[in-house]
Chains A and B, each alone.
Chain A
Amino acid sequence: MYLIKKFLTLYLLVSGFMVWAQIRVPQNGVVDAFEGITAFTNCTLIKDPQTKVLNATLIIQNAKIIAAGPALIIPKEAKIIDLHGKWVYASFIDLWSEYGVAKAQNKANERGPQFLSSKKGAWYWNEAIHPEVKASEVFSVQKEEAKAMRDLGFGLAVCHQQNGIARGTGLVVALGNETEQKMIINSSYGHYFSFNKGNSTQDYPSSLMGSIALLRQFYCDSKWAMGAKENEIDLSLKNYKLSQGMPHFFETGDVQDLLRADKIGDEFGIQYTLKGNGDEYQFIDEVKRTNTHLILPLNFPEAFDVEDPLDARLIGLTELKHWEMAPFNPVMVYNKGIEFSMTLAGLKKYDKFWTNIYKSIANGLTEEYALRALTTNPAKVLKMEALYGTLEVGKFANFIITDGNVFKEGTTILENWVLGKQNVNIDWQNSNYSGKYNLAFNDSTYTININGKSWQPKAEFQPKTKGELKLSLKNGFITYQLTLKNGKFSNGSGYKTGNNITLISSDSLGKPMTFSAVYIGPADVPTDSIKKKTEALVPKYALPWQYNLPKELSYLIANATVWTCGSQGKLENTDVLIKDGKIIGLGKGLINQGAVKIDGTGMHLTPGIIDEHSHIAISKGVNEGTQSITSEVRIEDVINAKDVNIYRQMAGGVTTSHLLHGSANAIGGQTALIKLKYGEAPENLKFPNDHRFIKFALGENVKQSNWGDFNTIRFPQTRMGVEQVFQDGFMRAKAYGDLKKTIGYRTDLELEALLEILNAKRFITCHSYVQSEINMLMHLADSFGFKVNTFTHILEGYKVADKMKNHGVAASTFSDWWGYKYEVVDAIPYNPGIMQKVGVLTGINSDDAEMGRRLNQEAAKAIKYSDVSEIDALNMVTTNPAKMLHIDNRVGQIRIGMDADLVLWDGQPLSNYSKPQTTWIDGKIYFDRTEDAKKRLEISKERQRIINDMLKAKKKGESTRKAGKTLEPEYHCDSEN
């Protein structure tokens, strides 16, 4: 009773206020704006995802719901729409749309460098940062697009211009056909971000890590702009400042990007709402930890056309698997308890939207959550749950009418009401021809059954053998084509006369004739063959790299030849005991304290190999070579845990890799140190070290000698200029250090990193070739009071080994590369040996994903060329690089207390006749040759199973995409990005 009272009060209130609406826009003719009250009766009302009301009535007036529930009193003046058998839902909200927003125009890209923004005015210096863009200012109603979205059930969309890194603000619009003035619900909503620089033609950033650094710098700048007195105007920052407090949204390219975006948010106290990509299942625990509300696309991929096995073999299991897993992504996200909304974004064809929702539900997503993800969840994100998302009194009349449970395949969305305005999808209120009829035709009487959806009648003779009848319906009339078994044919049209149908045809002379189909009762409805509900099983493992992650066990490697790479040298017939990730025993006859015993007889045990110079496991660009100093970029932001080369290198005995920025500029990016724990999430790969490193570079790459004729503008173009870049950088860093002692300074990420070098908190590994430049950098470092930590490549190190020794710098070099450019014509394979003998700490590195798999052999070349001892040679890839990286207290030697990063070789470890049998990292077996063979078989079976399923899918008529090889980047120092 109380409730009804409340309804009535509200109804009176609303109708009282809205008698007369002011009109602002001049009208051509008299005003015609009657709205009235509309009542929808006898429907199944899904008020909200949890509440289903049978035989309900919904009453709306002036775009709002004024009553909703069972057995309501309907105002006399109300228009009544009988929704018997129909269901009513709140219409859907798409949080990620570009609907109606003009696309950013592509600019002509001129050849040659563009250092600064081409946008004229007092805007942010980088063209990809434009928080000032207001999508509402370039929004216009697009009727066809709006209808397409409405027909799928959407009533609201949140839109923004999908361009750039800081994209500007979005808007909330209703998907009706009225003017922009009426359709925009909120003209300034949300700030939008991505890692993609969009139509910016400015060089910087060219890499993902550059995008991340730029965005971080933007947040630093805006923080500074909030507080300090500005001595210069930046309208972009000003605009951003004015719209503070708005929610931040972030578009990403894949699940690892999603985690990267969240990390930026954490740093600056922003909880992004993250747009997902359908691959969240790959790192689901990490996604859960972001605490984000996900905006999930339903972009399930098509099967590959795998009819030719020679094509099928080109597709990686990860890609095959994604086809299988993507339809499980929504339920896996749901099962993890991650809140999400669903979006149309990412669908190439809208008709897949419902197909994919059905699939998700068949795979275990509940109907209730699916509805939440389309209605209440997005409303909550928008903080508009008081007005949208459910069908309660006082909320906007945004709802859809369906002919049944919308989540059941075969249900049709008939109408979509937007802000109280009707939009008809299906002309369902036409005459209903459903029924059983007697048809007198050709001197006989036939029984005809018409059923199917009222707007799509389907007719058949009873029994079927007597003939065929095809019907279609338009504007209330049917047209028919009738063929009797004996071949007699008639066609014409028809209309309803009471319960009967009057049919009009013409006789053989063309004279019109009519005849009747007489209603004899309701249609026979075919009983649904009850589909056996198949239990949706989430496939066992999401990805190849997640097969059998190793267990933490204790191991006793017994009776091996142990190369300690430390003071104990090489020990024959020796045991090593490892537990809890550490080496806890080294000696003969160790007691097997519950450890798994591994017989090392005839085998060799060495510390894991450490690659001081590697470019594996890096996402989307190894060089941010667009400026001469990019110390703000960080490889650790873009670790690619999915790179199969992690596994391959570990299988070659590498356990720790130093991932370097490329050498395209004088001061490159900050490096990352990882352990090659394949299968773990990106953050778990990181080697925790207090001492951080940064890549510097000298020579031809830095001065763009081999970059072609269009790259002759960036400073420096000579070795003389390179010195000045460093000189300038460190002077500015020093001044910045002084400025930091004051208040109100602007955090400068580039100078922060250089300042760390001056303060001995960050260390340089410098790409270098020619003796002059090597000497220069040591002098420059001396003048600023720091030491160069490592010269990498250092191919002419042998010419200045004595000076290097005096400076205390280490050398990490190739064994025998030369001849690939002018600055390496004097490179010699005797280089490591000479430097070693002079007393420089010398290591051998790879800079190459393939060579990284056999660094032991590269070290052995020092024996060949320079008669270095076997132990010294092995040290060049174990303890020496560990020392260079300041991690020799953890790795690089076999002694008690060190990390259990070990390699068991089937022969002498410096021979290319040997190969690793087992690799441990932190005491766990991440590679074992015997296991590898088993795993390979498993992968092969798994591939074949999915390939067979894809073949079946194609047979069923599903569309497929062409199979081919997806190339992955292999980076080197001078990779172009």
Chain B
Amino acid sequence: MKLEMKNIFIGLVLASTLAKAQVPSPAAIENSKVWIMAGTLHIGNGKVYTNASLRFDKGIITAIDSFRAPKDFPDHKIFLAKHVYAGLIAPNTTLGLNEVDAIRSTRDYNEVGQNNANIRSLIAYNTDSKVIPTLRSNGILLAQITPSGGNISGQSSVVQLDAWNWEDAAIKVDDALHINWPRMSLQFGWGAESSEAEKGQIEMAINAMNKIFSDAKSYCSSKGMEVNLKLEAFRGVFGGTKKVFVHTDGAREMISAVQFMQRYGIKPVIVGGDESHLITKFLRDNQIAVILIRTHNLPSLPDDDIDLPYKMPKILHDSGVLYCLADVSAWQQRNLPFQAGTSVAFGLTAEQALMAITKNTAEILGISDKYGTLEVGKSATIIVSEGDILDMKSSKVTRAWIDGRPIDLDDTQKQLNRKYNTKYFGK
């Protein structure tokens, strides 16, 4: 195939050698139609096409088909790419709420108090966090910014990772209420916490939660009541427009939480789910989705299969449980694709593994109408890589668009890399 070179951008960023030491500016929308010629096009729903074309216009994917001659679409800006994926999504992260773990003044994710239903993460999301571009550099373009702590941590929002401020970052405002379910089993030994279980107060804790939910239901079903900020936060929860994410790991806790929520007509999402493998049938039958946190983890019990955390995606996939992957904290999120990759070593195909950081995540977060897969009509939120992005030895993200805007993939770490390469090697 002979290509007209003037429109073609080889899939490598020609990085600026100027050290900027700052977060790059958010991009404007592509001023022309874009055509990506992909060696391998990973749709994100399990399908993969080789030698495929993807075209988008004004931020929306307009076509996916096979390789065509450049002259077919002369008005398109053309990019050659080896691997093309939908932008990756990091759920349940403190990104933008947490700059440096050890510095208190940079931690904005954990409010005091047990019931913080009214807390909203979005307004604290710092679009100028130096962490954000390092995630983009590994293909993560969307994230669910989530508070933590207390029994009810507050509300998360879903954002895209290239914005001037939280307003233009938001793609789903106050998407979910986050609840920590009380641990129901006992802990002993090193660093054991004294939770409700040790104090024999599980029932009390669940009763307290019940009071909050019944109050909220009553409050939300009537109008003209005196405003109660905490209960106000539940609007949408009962109508199904705001999700409830329950953070818990134990099988008993998951069952307890799901049945509790079902009494209020709520279908919660489980975050954590260490023991999901014990109750796959329950999860599937009740259509409960699970966000696995950090599968690059040690088994929680000494006699567990040494690879249990690595195998969890395969177990849930095979059982028909909808699940996706998350990592902890903020900066660690850039390794999310490699956690998906590890599940390939333990039985999933690469395309199945990919779903756990794209399509499945979008479905669980309720943004699959626009994000998570490369399909006509969906957002042009796309990454391009030199190799398989799930394997660290080949993942090299060279280009990305969010809603059709070409993202500057530079970050402060790349800047430092250039600075010292120049120092030592003059380049």
- Is A314 interfacial (CB-CB < 8 Å)? yes
The interface bits of chain B over 293-333 (1 if a CB of A lies within 8 angstroms of the residue's CB, else 0) are 00011111111011100000000000000000000001100
Inter-chain contact A647/B303, CB cutoff 8 Å: no
Inter-chain contact B392/A864, CB cutoff 8 Å: yes
Q: Could you tell me the distance between the alpha carbons of A966 and B101 in the complex, rounded to whole angstroms?
A: 28
- Is A533 interfacial (CB-CB < 8 Å)? no
User: For A837, what are the chain B residues with a Cβ–Cβ distance below 8 Å?
Assistant: 424-425
- Is A915 interfacial (CB-CB < 8 Å)? yes
Max chain B C-beta neighbours (<10 A), residue from A311, A316, A851, A913: A913
Inter-chain contact B345/A912, CB cutoff 8 Å: yes
- Is B378 interfacial (CB-CB < 8 Å)? no
The interface bits of chain B over 408-419 (1 if a CB of A lies within 8 angstroms of the residue's CB, else 0) are 000001101100
Q: Which of B185, B189, B425 contacts A310 (CB 8 A)?
A: B185
* Interfacial residues of chain A within 724-766, with CB under 8 A of chain B in the complex: none
Q: Decide: A645 near B391, CB < 8 A? Known: A826-B416, A964-B188, A967-B190.
A: no
Q: Which of A648, A651, A963 contacts B186 (CB 8 A)?
A: A963
Q: Could you tell me the distance between the alpha carbons of A956 and B393 in the complex, rounded to whole angstroms?
A: 59
Closest Cβ–Cβ distance, residue A859 to chain B (whole Å): 9
Closest Cβ–Cβ distance, residue A826 to chain B (whole Å): 6
Inter-chain contact A314/B413, CB cutoff 8 Å: no
Inter-chain contact B187/A964, CB cutoff 8 Å: yes
Residue of A nearest to B101 (CB): A820
Q: Could you tell me the distance between the alpha carbons of A825 and B100 in the complex, rounded to whole angstroms?
A: 8
- Is B14 interfacial (CB-CB < 8 Å)? no
Q: Which of A830, A908, A911 contacts B417 (CB 8 A)?
A: A830
Binds A, one of B42-50, B81-89, B336-344: B336-344
- Is A706 interfacial (CB-CB < 8 Å)? yes
Q: Could you tell me the distance between the alpha carbons of A313 and B252 in the complex, rounded to whole angstroms?
A: 12
Max chain B C-beta neighbours (<10 A), residue from A645, A830, A864, A970: A864
Binds B, one of A74-82, A205-213, A593-601, A794-802: A794-802
- Is A665 interfacial (CB-CB < 8 Å)? no
Between-chain CB contacts (< 8 Å), 14 pairs: A311-B186, A316-B301, A648-B299, A802-B424, A816-B335, A818-B331, A820-B101, A822-B103, A850-B297, A864-B393, A932-B306, A939-B303, A943-B303, A969-B190
User: For A915, what are the chain B residues with a Cβ–Cβ distance below 8 Å?
Assistant: 307, 345-346
Inter-chain contact A828/B101, CB cutoff 8 Å: no
Inter-chain contact A314/B185, CB cutoff 8 Å: yes
The interface bits of chain B over 110-148 (1 if a CB of A lies within 8 angstroms of the residue's CB, else 0) are 000000000000000000001100000000000000000
Q: Which of B103, B131, B296, B302 contacts A821 (CB 8 A)?
A: B103
User: For B189, what are the chain A residues with a Cβ–Cβ distance below 8 Å?
Assistant: 966-968
Closest 4 A/B residue pairs (Cβ): A964-B186, A821-B102, A819-B331, A830-B417
Inter-chain contact A316/B302, CB cutoff 8 Å: yes
User: For B187, what are the chain A residues with a Cβ–Cβ distance below 8 Å?
Assistant: 964-967
Residue of A nearest to B424 (CB): A838
User: For B297, what are the chain A residues with a Cβ–Cβ distance below 8 Å?
Assistant: 850
* Interfacial residues of chain A within 614-669, with CB under 8 A of chain B in the complex: 644-645, 647-648, 651
- Is B99 interfacial (CB-CB < 8 Å)? yes
Q: Decide: A910 near B103, CB < 8 A? Known: A317-B302, A939-B303, A964-B187.
A: no
Q: Which of B100, B103, B296, B341 contacts A850 (CB 8 A)?
A: B296
Inter-chain contact A822/B100, CB cutoff 8 Å: yes
User: For B244, what are the chain A residues with a Cβ–Cβ distance below 8 Å?
Assistant: none
User: For B186, what are the chain A residues with a Cβ–Cβ distance below 8 Å?
Assistant: 311, 314, 962-965
Identify 8 new A-B residue pairs, CB closer than 8 A, beyond the known A822-B100, A912-B338: A816-B335, A819-B331, A820-B102, A828-B416, A943-B303, A965-B300, A966-B188, A967-B190
How many A residues touch B, CB cutoff 8 Å? Answer: 69
The interface bits of chain A over 690-705 (1 if a CB of B lies within 8 angstroms of the residue's CB, else 0) are 0000000000100001
Inter-chain contact A860/B392, CB cutoff 8 Å: yes
The interface bits of chain A over 814-852 (1 if a CB of B lies within 8 angstroms of the residue's CB, else 0) are 001011111001101110001001100000000001110
Max chain A C-beta neighbours (<10 A), residue from B297, B338, B414: B338
Inter-chain contact B393/A834, CB cutoff 8 Å: no
User: For A818, what are the chain B residues with a Cβ–Cβ distance below 8 Å?
Assistant: 331, 413
Interface residues of A (CB under 8 A from B): 310-311, 313-314, 316-318, 544, 644-645, 647-648, 651, 700, 705-706, 798-799, 801-802, 816, 818-822, 825-826, 828-830, 834, 837-838, 849-851, 853-854, 857, 860-861, 863-865, 870, 873, 907-908, 910-915, 932, 936, 939-940, 943, 962-970
Closest Cβ–Cβ distance, residue B277 to chain A (whole Å): 11
* Interfacial residues of chain B within 177-201, with CB under 8 A of chain A in the complex: 185-192
* Interfacial residues of chain B within 12-60, with CB under 8 A of chain A in the complex: none
Inter-chain contact A861/B392, CB cutoff 8 Å: yes
Inter-chain contact A864/B302, CB cutoff 8 Å: no
- Is B243 interfacial (CB-CB < 8 Å)? no
Inter-chain contact B425/A864, CB cutoff 8 Å: no
Q: Could you tell me the distance between the alpha carbons of A799 and B421 in the complex, rounded to whole angstroms?
A: 10
Inter-chain contact B302/A834, CB cutoff 8 Å: no
User: For A705, what are the chain B residues with a Cβ–Cβ distance below 8 Å?
Assistant: 102
Inter-chain contact B252/A310, CB cutoff 8 Å: yes
Residue of A nearest to B103 (CB): A822
User: For A317, what are the chain B residues with a Cβ–Cβ distance below 8 Å?
Assistant: 302-303
Inter-chain contact A969/B102, CB cutoff 8 Å: no
- Is B251 interfacial (CB-CB < 8 Å)? yes
- Is B242 interfacial (CB-CB < 8 Å)? no
Q: Which of B305, B342, B391, B417 contacts A834 (CB 8 A)?
A: B417
Interface residues of B (CB under 8 A from A): 99-103, 130-131, 185-192, 250-252, 278, 296-303, 305-307, 330-331, 334-335, 338, 341-342, 344-346, 350, 390-396, 413-414, 416-417, 420-421, 424-425
User: For A850, what are the chain B residues with a Cβ–Cβ distance below 8 Å?
Assistant: 296-298
Closest Cβ–Cβ distance, residue A644 to chain B (whole Å): 5
Inter-chain contact B131/A819, CB cutoff 8 Å: yes
User: For A860, what are the chain B residues with a Cβ–Cβ distance below 8 Å?
Assistant: 391-393
Residue of B nearest to A826 (CB): B416
User: For B393, what are the chain A residues with a Cβ–Cβ distance below 8 Å?
Assistant: 860, 863-864, 870, 873, 908, 910-911
Closest Cβ–Cβ distance, residue B295 to chain A (whole Å): 10
Closest Cβ–Cβ distance, residue A932 to chain B (whole Å): 7
Q: Which of B185, B306, B392 contacts A648 (CB 8 A)?
A: B306
Q: Could you tell me the distance between the alpha carbons of A838 and B130 in the complex, rounded to whole angstroms?
A: 27
Residue of A nearest to B130 (CB): A825
Q: Which of B102, B250, B303, B334 contacts A700 (CB 8 A)?
A: B102
Inter-chain contact A820/B413, CB cutoff 8 Å: no
Inter-chain contact B425/A819, CB cutoff 8 Å: no
Residue of B nearest to A870 (CB): B393
Inter-chain contact B100/A864, CB cutoff 8 Å: no
Q: Could you tell me the distance between the alpha carbons of A907 and B305 in the complex, rounded to whole angstroms?
A: 21
Q: Could you tell me the distance between the alpha carbons of A314 and B189 in the complex, rounded to whole angstroms?
A: 13
Inter-chain contact A863/B344, CB cutoff 8 Å: no
Q: Could you tell me the distance between the alpha carbons of A915 and B345 in the complex, rounded to whole angstroms?
A: 7
Q: Decide: A314 near B301, CB < 8 A? Known: A964-B188, A966-B189.
A: yes
Q: Which of B102, B394, B420 contacts A706 (CB 8 A)?
A: B102
User: For B251, what are the chain A residues with a Cβ–Cβ distance below 8 Å?
Assistant: 310
User: For B344, what are the chain A residues with a Cβ–Cβ distance below 8 Å?
Assistant: 912-913
Closest Cβ–Cβ distance, residue B294 to chain A (whole Å): 9
User: For A908, what are the chain B residues with a Cβ–Cβ distance below 8 Å?
Assistant: 393
Q: Decide: A863 near B100, CB < 8 A? Known: A913-B345, A967-B188.
A: no
Inter-chain contact A830/B413, CB cutoff 8 Å: yes
Inter-chain contact A967/B416, CB cutoff 8 Å: no
Q: Could you tell me the distance between the alpha carbons of A838 and B423 in the complex, rounded to whole angstroms?
A: 11
Inter-chain contact A644/B302, CB cutoff 8 Å: yes
User: For B396, what are the chain A residues with a Cβ–Cβ distance below 8 Å?
Assistant: 864
Residue of B nearest to A314 (CB): B185
Inter-chain contact B185/A968, CB cutoff 8 Å: no
Q: Could you tell me the distance between the alpha carbons of A663 and B5 in the complex, rounded to whole angstroms?
A: 56
User: For A914, what are the chain B residues with a Cβ–Cβ distance below 8 Å?
Assistant: 345
Max chain B C-beta neighbours (<10 A), residue from A314, A651, A802: A314
User: For B425, what are the chain A residues with a Cβ–Cβ distance below 8 Å?
Assistant: 837
